[in-house]
């Protein structure tokens, strides 16, 4: 029994209720719960590092009848990232909302989002995954609509429609799985799934549903308007955490559950879409006129890289080579999570300070907001993949895996994508360092700039230098591919 | 496979496809929200088919429990979508 596992979910859920009842103190509850949740997630990660895979049967009902919560290296790593990013964004949000109505609505939804996200990461059965996916989608839509403008409402409605369609496809896949194998428990399914039509159709439906939510090219069309028009702390969580939750599920299904039913051709197709996402997303980011739109298109591109890993993981035989590639993938996801949330928070500071986020009119930002400009530069380093950021090591793993498996096609994609990322980063910095007569203090808004700065430092320095620890952590106990190997 | 299962299963798939087509082709927000519900009805029908075990037999309770959860989710999602669509139509924004 590991009742520890319920706390990363229960704490934000209770906090959400508390914030609803006691709305005048909601921001204090939000930050307090953020700290407690981070503490609980750290305990889970520590316990995992000591003992390996953890499992908790809710209410004492064993899987099969009840619902299990499970943690492995992948889930623990993402849980830590999500708790850290959520805490930083919560501190940022205490100084962000000026409208009291929006502030009162924000906090309960925010903590509900965190609870849904953590429940999704720890879910051990496919139906529970569906429920958490819907909870996450609904709270994300409500938060995205908080922007209040017509553009943000329209984007939120489209996000909801597209997301619901994705979950319907996922649910249809769940029905087929139950019809074919009689269980919804992921570990139980992993031992039963064979290469047969029922498994293929279920996998196709579930993957298609998740790809919509993970915004893989060409299903990314809903992401840029939604992420660019949401309030800054919400954009940070949407781009860094929510889309990644859908990718996490793709990974979980492909590597754990459907391991026995996969073909290299299907993985290569996802890889090709990922490659198209890298090039198209980076190009649109370079052409974007607004900073937040640039960040949103950059998310489309960075998610593409994650999908490039899939055909490589499938082609590599189980062993150290595959573990290294998987480590690279997780490192990429984590670095992007921290870097992109930092970038969105910084964009929010600029937007509130200057009243707009048009890239061409950013001149003087470097003098007026030196810390925020530094955050832009640091997150740019992580997005391009320069050392010592985690992305550098992750791209290195990606390219060396491409060489070992002979999938040369991905090499020019990574190269070109990195060049384009360099171009869009320096385009922003070039304008930010432009001339202006305004000069500001060193630190303009501590509660907003310091969280962004810390996130950017984690992405560029901590994850890059501490990557060895992550590889060790991921291979502790039951590995992600442990069921089949 | 029982003939009932085939009829209900295919109807479910058919509804799902009709709903999917509706979401992709319709421009009006209300029509799209309704199309999603048609889509959902198709999926729920597939679940009910999965639960069916023949005349006079007790149905499998698990898929039925899942359908109930699914319906609750669909109702709340529809409510949120309608609220958003109404806000958009009123043009009310600060």
Q: How many CA atoms lie within 13 A of A319 on its CB side?
A: 5
Of A139, A258, A244, the residue nearest A195 (C-alpha): A258
pLDDT digits (tens, 9 = 90+) for A351-402: 988 888 899 888 888 888 889 999 999 999 999 999 889 999 999 999 999 9
What is the pLDDT at residue A312?
93
- Whether residues B50 and A157 touch (CB distance < 8 A) is answered with no
Chain B residue nearest residue A132, CA to CA? B73
Task: Tell me if residue A125 falls in helix, strand or coil.
Answer: strand
Residue A147 predicted with pLDDT over 90: no
The confidence band for A484, taking pLDDT boundaries of 50, 70 and 90, is very low
Are A2 and A37 in a shared domain? yes
Question: Quick check: is A139 in a domain?
Answer: no
Same structural domain, A364 and A400: yes
Residue A342's closest CA among A422, A433, A430, A461? A461
Q: Is residue A138 part of a domain?
A: no
The reply to whether A131 falls in a domain is: no
Best residue of B84, B90, B94 to probe chain A, by most A CBs closer than 10 Å: B84
CA A268 – CA A280 distance, rounded (Å): 18
Considering only CA atoms, which of A121, A8, A78, A53 is closest in space to residue A332? A78
Residue of chain A whose Cα is closest to the Cα of B40: A168
Asked whether residue A119 falls in the same domain as residue A220, the answer is no
Q: For position A479, what pLDDT does the model report? A: 43
B15 touches A: beta carbon within 8 Å: no
Q: What is the 3-state secondary structure (H, E, C) of A221-259?
A: CCHHHHHHHCCHHHHHHHHHHHHHHHHHHHHHHHHHHCH
Mean pLDDT of all residues belonging to chain A: 90
Strands A54-57 and A68-71: antiparallel
pLDDT score of A437:
64
Residue A187's pLDDT band (cuts 50, 70, 90): confident
What 3-state class would DSSP assign to A362?
coil
Q: What is the pLDDT of residues A196-219, one digit of tens each?
A: 888 999 999 999 999 999 999 889
Return d(Cα A355, Cα A352) in angstroms, integer.
5
Whether A137 is covered by a domain: the verdict is: no
Both tokens of residue A25?
């103190």
- Cβ proximity of A245 and A170 under 8 Å: no
Question: For residue A5, what is the DSSP state?
Answer: G
Nearest partner of A264 among A304, A318, A315, judged by Cα: A315
Q: Cβ–Cβ of B23/A150 closer than 8 Å?
A: no
| CA-based nearest distance B55→chain A, Å | 18
* A30 found inside a domain: yes
- Parent domain of A83: 1-124
Give the pLDDT confidence of B41-74 residue by residue, as tens digits.
999 999 999 898 888 888 888 899 889 999 999 9
If asked whether residues A377 and A236 sit together in one domain, one would say no
Find the mean pLDDT for residues A176-184. Answer: 90
Tell me how far apart the alpha carbons of residues A258 and A313 are, in angstroms, rounded to a whole number.
14
- The three-state secondary structure class of A358 is strand
Is A161's CB within 8 Å of B76's CB? Answer: no
Distance of alpha carbon A330 from alpha carbon A476, whole angstroms = 14
Q: What number of residues does chain B have?
A: 94
Task: Return the H-helix or E-strand segment holding A56.
Answer: strand A54-57
For residue A127, list chain B residues with Cβ-Cβ distance below 8 A. Answer: 66, 69
CA A370, chain centre distance (Å): 27
Confidence of residue A100 (pLDDT cuts 50, 70, 90): confident
More confident residue, A323 or A421: A421
- Both tokens of A383, joined, read 């997005």
Do A451 and A351 lie in one domain? The reply is yes
Question: Residue A92 has what pLDDT?
Answer: 94
Instruction: Give residues with Cβ within 8 angstroms of A58, minimum separation 6.
Output: A6, A66, A67, A68, A69
The ipTM assigned to this model is 0.94
Contact A224, A296 (CB under 8 A): yes
Would you say residue A485 has pLDDT above 50? no
Q: Do A141 and B84 touch (CB under 8 A)?
A: yes
| pLDDT given at position A442 | 63
H or E, element range at A374 = helix A370-384
Measured between alpha carbons, how far is A442 from A368 in angstroms, rounded to an integer? 8
* C-alpha span between B86 and A56 (Å, rounded): 43
User: Does pLDDT of A68 surpass 90?
Assistant: no
**Minimal CA separation from B39 to chain A, in Å:** 7
Nearest Cβ partner for A175 among B46, B69, B77: B46
For residue range A6-50, list pLDDT tens digits in order: 999 999 999 999 999 998 889 999 999 999 999 999 999 999 988
Q: A182 pLDDT exceeds 60?
A: yes
- List chain B residues with CB under 8 Å of A178: 50, 62-63, 66
- Residue whose token pair is 């017509």: A150
* pLDDT tens, residue by residue, A282-310: 999 999 999 999 999 999 999 999 999 99
Q: Closest Cα of chain B to A292: distance in Å?
A: 21
Which residues make beta-bridge pairs with A68? A57
What DSSP line would sit under B10-32, residue for residue?
A: HHHHHHHHHHHHHHHH--SHHHH
Q: Please state, in angstroms and rounded to a whole number, the distance separating the CA atoms of residues A12 and A33.
A: 6
Flag if B73 and A141 touch (Cβ within 8 Å). no
Tell me if chain A has a CB within 8 Å of the CB of B39. yes
Work out how many domains chain A is built from and give that number: 3
A193 and A291 co-located in one domain: no
Contact A149/B29, CB-based, under 8 Å? no
- Asked if A151 and A120 sit in the same domain, the reply is no
For A290-346, what is the HEC assignment? EHHHHHHHHHHHHHHHHHHHHHHHHHCCCCHHHHHHHHHHHHHHHHHHHHHHHHHHH
What is the mean pLDDT of the segment spanning A77-97?
A: 94
Q: Where are the domains of chain B?
A: 4-90
Instruction: State what percent of residues in chain A have pLDDT above 70.
Output: 96
Q: What is the mean pLDDT of the segment spanning A442-471?
A: 84
- Interface residues on A facing B, Cβ-Cβ cutoff 8 A: 99, 127, 130-131, 134, 137-138, 141-142, 145, 148-150, 153-154, 156-157, 160-161, 164-165, 167-168, 171-172, 174-176, 178-179, 184
Rounded to whole angstroms, the Cα distance separating A396 from A390 reads 10
> Contact A172/B16, CB-based, under 8 Å?
yes
- Does any domain span residue A194? yes
The C-alpha atoms of residue B53 and residue B56 are separated, in whole angstroms, by 8
A157 contacts in B (CB within 8 Å)? 29, 81, 84-85, 88
A290 and A371 share one domain: yes
Residue A261 and residue A197: Cα distance in Å, rounded?
Answer: 9
Phi/psi zone of residue A380: left (φ > 0), alpha (ψ -120 to 50 degrees), beta? alpha
Query: Quick one: pLDDT at residue A296?
Result: 95
Q: Which residues of chain A make contact with B94, given a CB cutoff of 8 A?
A: 99, 148
- Looking at the structure, do residues A180 and A244 belong to the same domain, yes or no? yes
Residue A67 has pLDDT above 90, yes or no: no
**Which residues from chain A sit within 8 angstroms of residue B66, using beta carbons?**
127, 174-175, 178
Residue A483 has pLDDT above 50, yes or no: no
Distances (CA, A) of A29 to A24, A94, A101, A151, A210: 10, 11, 17, 31, 32
CATH code of B4-90, in short, is: 1.10.287
Tell whether A425 and A306 lie within a shared domain.
yes
- A294 and A257 within one domain: no
Residue A134 lies in a domain: no
Residue of B nearest to A162 (CA): B23
Decide if A276 is inside a domain. no
- Taking CB atoms and an 8 Å limit, are B93 and A148 in contact across chains? yes
Q: Tokens at residue A163, please?
A: 């997301």
Task: Count interface pairs A-B at CB distance under 8 A.
Answer: 79
How many C-alpha atoms does A148 have within 13 Å on its Cβ side?
11
Q: Is residue A116 located within the same domain as residue A210?
A: no
Chain A residues whose CB is inside 8 A of the B50 CB are 175, 178-179
Chain A's closest residue to B27, CA to CA, is A158
Instruction: Tell me whether residues B50 and A179 touch, CB distance under 8 A.
Output: yes
- Nearest CA to A164 among B92, B39, B31, B11? B39
What digits encode the pLDDT tens for the residues A434-446?
887 666 666 667 7
């Amino acid at each position: 029994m590991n009742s520890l596992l319920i706390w990363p979910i229960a704490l934000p859920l209770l906090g959400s209720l508390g914030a609803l009842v006691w709305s005048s103190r909601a921001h204090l509850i939000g930050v307090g719960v953020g700290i407690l949740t981070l503490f609980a997630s750290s305990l889970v990660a520590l316990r995992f590092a000591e003992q390996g895979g953890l499992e908790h049967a809710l209410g004492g009902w064993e899987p099969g009848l009840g619902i299990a919560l499970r943690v492995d290296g992948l889930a623990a790593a993402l849980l830590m990232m999500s708790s850290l990013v959520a805490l930083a964004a919560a501190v940022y949000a205490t100084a962000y909302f000026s409208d009291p109505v929006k502030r009162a609505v924000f906090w309960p939804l925010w903590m509900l989002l965190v609870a849904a996200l953590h429940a999704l990461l720890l879910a051990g059965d496919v139906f529970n995954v569906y429920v958490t996916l819907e909870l996450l989608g609904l709270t994300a839509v409500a938060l995205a609509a908080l922007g209040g403008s017509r553009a943000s409402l329209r984007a939120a409605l489209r996000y909801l429609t597209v997301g619901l369609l994705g979950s319907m496809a996922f649910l249809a896949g769940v029905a087929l799985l139950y019809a074919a194998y009689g269980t919804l428990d992921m570990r139980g399914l992993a031992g039963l799934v064979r290469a047969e039509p029922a498994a293929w159709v279920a996998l196709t439906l579930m993957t298609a549903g998740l790809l919509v939510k993970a915004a893989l090219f060409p299903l990314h069309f809903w992401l840029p308007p939604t992420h660019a028009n949401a309030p800054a702390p919400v954009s940070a969580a949407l781009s860094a955490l929510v889309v990644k939750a859908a990718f996490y599920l793709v990974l979980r299904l492909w590597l754990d559950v459907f391991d026995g039913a996969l073909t290299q051709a299907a993985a290569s197709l996802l890889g090709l879409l990922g490659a198209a996402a890298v090039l198209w997303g980076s190009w649109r980011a370079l052409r974007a006129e607004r900073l937040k739109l640039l960040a949103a298109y950059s998310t489309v591109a960075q998610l593409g890289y994650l999908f490039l890993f899939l055909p490589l993981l499938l082609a590599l035989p189980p062993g150290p080579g595959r573990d290294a590639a998987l480590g690279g993938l997780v490192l990429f996801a984590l670095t992007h999570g921290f870097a992109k949330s930092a970038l969105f928070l910084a964009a929010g500071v600029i937007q509130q300070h200057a009243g707009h986020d048009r890239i061409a009119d950013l001149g003087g930002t470097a003098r007026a907001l030196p810390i925020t400009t530094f955050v832009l530069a640091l997150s740019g380093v992580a997005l391009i993949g320069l050392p010592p950021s985690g992305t550098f090591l992750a791209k290195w793993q990606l390219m060396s895996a491409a060489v070992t498996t002979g999938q040369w096609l991905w090499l020019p994609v990574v190269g070109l994508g990195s060049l384009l990322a360099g171009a869009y980063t320096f385009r922003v910095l070039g304008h930010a360092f432009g001339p202006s007569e305004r000069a500001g203090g060193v630190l303009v808004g501590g509660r907003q700039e310091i969280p962004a700065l810390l996130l950017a430092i984690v992405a560029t320095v901590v994850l890059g230098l501490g990557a060895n620890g992550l590889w060790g952590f991921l291979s502790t106990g039951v590995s992600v591919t442990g069921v089949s190997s | 496979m029982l003939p009932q299962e085939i009829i209900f299963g295919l109807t479910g798939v058919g509804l799902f496809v009709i709903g999917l087509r509706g979401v992709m082709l319709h421009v009006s927000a209300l029509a799209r929200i309704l199309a999603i519900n048609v889509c959902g009805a198709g999926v729920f029908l597939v679940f009910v088919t999965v639960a069916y075990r023949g005349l006079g037999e007790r149905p499998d309770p698990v898929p039925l429990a899942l359908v109930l959860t699914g319906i609750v989710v669909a109702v709340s999602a529809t409510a949120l979508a309608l609220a958003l669509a109404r806000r958009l139509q009123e043009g009310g924004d600060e």
